[in-house]
Amino acid sequence: MTTAFYWDERCFWHGGGHYALTVPAGGLVQPMPDGLPESPETKRRLKNLLEVSGLIHDLDTRTAPAATMEDLSLIHPMGFLRKFKELSDAGGGELGLRTPFGRGGYEIAALSAGLARRALAEVLRGRVDNAYALSRPPGHHCLPEYPNGFCLLANIAIAIESARAGGLCERIAVVDWDVHHGNGTEAIFYDRPDVLTISLHQERNYPLDTGDAEDQGAGAGHGANINIPLPPGTGHSGYLEVMERIVQPALALYRPEAIVVACGYDAAAVDPLGRMLATADTFRQMTRMMMESAADLCEGRLVLVHEGGYSQMYVPFCGHAVLEELSGSTIHAPDPLAETLAARQPGPRFDHWLSTHIAELEDFFL
């Protein structure tokens, strides 16, 4: 089995601006060394761990050209793209909410989208079995004319529309397990039946006003958007139950030609922006479930595109677990927090309440 791993050093060079976590510095707020939590170190350290463990040698490492203006314009209006490019050439700035960039930010964002675009295209062409795109900056919050939540371009949406324009596919499913609601991807495909969007997210984390279960798409797209808002502390078993009872059945009903995962690691237990208690093994097992669904429905065609995840220490172990599973490698990087996080999982009463909540959502969607 060939698992392609798409990355580019230049994606690590995107700057996070003058921030303290998610708060603009100024007044009584001092800047923090990394600025926004969306720093290069989580992604760089993931690749470093792959190299140190040797798993990198079981992957087909590749890069990709930047998405062209033509590719980007399939999602983003030309006026927005020109403004982004001009501001980038002039030294940088910020066009949306919590989306600062420096000189060359446009080119780096286009490269990030290009990694996702090439990963999906190569899987659809059958040139590789599955793929992982180490995209940065991320993309699932970006609206067509309004970047937000660290996302400058809609990477996954661009990849899908480019593949459709090239005649490579007609029906794609997106499963977003980032801790934050995938509002950008949702908005882009909200009234369309040809892309199924499923978002598992911590309820009312970010954005504060999107991600309700009642938001199921509009017009011809009604029913092709599934939001699964989950309470803080959902934990390992809760995520797997949601995947088994709602996500996999929804995919089976839709029967996509490929599955794309918006692969954020901020549902991990030690993430500074999430409170969900997932572990590296959670992400491993969710990847296994997506591989099973892809094998059953679309000849194994599966692409994971890196989104959020802000623990510089723990993201590498979560990503390593995912890539172990995706590639079938026997190389293992033991989770240094496994015992601690197992002890912190929710108790039986919470699990019972959560299972009842999931059953209600299951009845609602299926």
User: What whole-number distance in Å separates Cα of residue 158 and Cα of residue 74?
Assistant: 7
Average pLDDT over residues 270-286: 98
Looking at the predicted structure, is the pLDDT value of residue 360 above 80? yes
Any domain includes 23: no
Average pLDDT over residues 255-267: 98
Any domain includes 93: no
Asked if residue 42 lies in contact with residue 36, where contact means CB atoms within 8 angstroms, the answer is no
Query: What pLDDT, on the 0 to 100 scale, is given for residue 300?
Result: 98
Q: Using 50, 70 and 90 to split pLDDT, how confident is the model at 308?
A: very high
Any domain includes 289: yes
pLDDT tens digits, one per residue of 124-142: 999 999 999 999 999 999 9
Query: What pLDDT, on the 0 to 100 scale, is given for residue 15?
Result: 87
Query: What pLDDT, on the 0 to 100 scale, is given for residue 129?
Result: 98
Any domain includes 32: no
31-37 long-range contacts, CB within 8 A, separation 24+ = 35/100, 36/98, 36/100, 36/150, 37/272, 37/273, 37/310
pLDDT tens digits, one per residue of 173-223: 999 999 999 999 999 999 999 999 999 999 999 999 999 999 999 999 999
Q: What is the CATH number of the domain that holds 50?
A: 3.40.800.20
Query: What pLDDT, on the 0 to 100 scale, is given for residue 104?
Result: 96
The two structure tokens encoding residue 314: 């723990």
pLDDT tens digits, one per residue of 327-347: 999 999 999 999 999 999 999
Query: What pLDDT, on the 0 to 100 scale, is given for residue 247?
Result: 98
Any domain includes 100: no
Task: Determine whether 236 is an active site residue.
Answer: no
Any domain includes 320: yes
Query: What pLDDT, on the 0 to 100 scale, is given for residue 192?
Result: 97
Looking at the predicted structure, is the pLDDT value of residue 16 above 80? no
Contacts of 59 (CB under 8 A, 6+ apart): 3, 4, 5, 50, 132, 323, 327
Q: Using 50, 70 and 90 to split pLDDT, how confident is the model at 366?
A: confident
Query: What pLDDT, on the 0 to 100 scale, is given for residue 170?
Result: 97
208 burial type by CB count under 10 A (0-12 exposed, 13-18 middle, 19+ buried):
exposed
List the catalytic residue out of 141, 181, 236, 320: 141
Q: Considering the chain, what is the average pLDDT of its residues?
A: 97
Query: What pLDDT, on the 0 to 100 scale, is given for residue 329?
Result: 98
Q: Using 50, 70 and 90 to split pLDDT, how confident is the model at 294?
A: very high
Query: What pLDDT, on the 0 to 100 scale, is given for residue 325?
Result: 98
Any domain includes 33: no
Query: What pLDDT, on the 0 to 100 scale, is given for residue 289?
Result: 99
How many domains does one find in the chain? 1
Any domain includes 81: yes
Query: What pLDDT, on the 0 to 100 scale, is given for residue 28?
Result: 86
Q: Using 50, 70 and 90 to split pLDDT, how confident is the model at 70?
A: very high
Give the structural domain span for 359. Answer: 3-11+38-86+112-365
Query: Edge to edge, what strands does the sheet with 3-6 contain?
Result: 60-62, 3-6, 130-133, 302-306, 258-263, 172-176, 195-202, 225-230
Average pLDDT over residues 4-15: 96
Q: What is the 3-state secondary structure (H, E, C) of the chain?
A: CCEEEECCHHHHHCCCCCEECCEECECCECCCCCCCCCCCHHHHHHHHHHHHHCHHHHCEEECCCCCCHHHHCCCCCHHHHHHHHHHHHCCEEECCECCEEECCHHHHHHHHHHHHHHHHHHHHCCCCCEEEECCCCCCCCCECCECECCECCCHHHHHHHHHHHCCCCCCEEEEECCCCCCHHHHHHHCCCCCEEEEEEEECCCCCCCCCCCCCCCCHHHCCCEEEEEECCCCHHHHHHHHHHHHHHHHHHHHCCCEEEEEECCCCECCCCCCCCCECHHHHHHHHHHHHHHHHHHCCCCEEEEECCCCCCCCHHHHHHHHHHHHHCCCCCCCCCCHHHHHHCCCCHHHHHHHHHHHHHHHHHHC
Average pLDDT over residues 56-79: 98
Average pLDDT over residues 151-169: 98
Query: What pLDDT, on the 0 to 100 scale, is given for residue 33?
Result: 80
CA angle (186, 283, 320) in 5-degree steps: 115
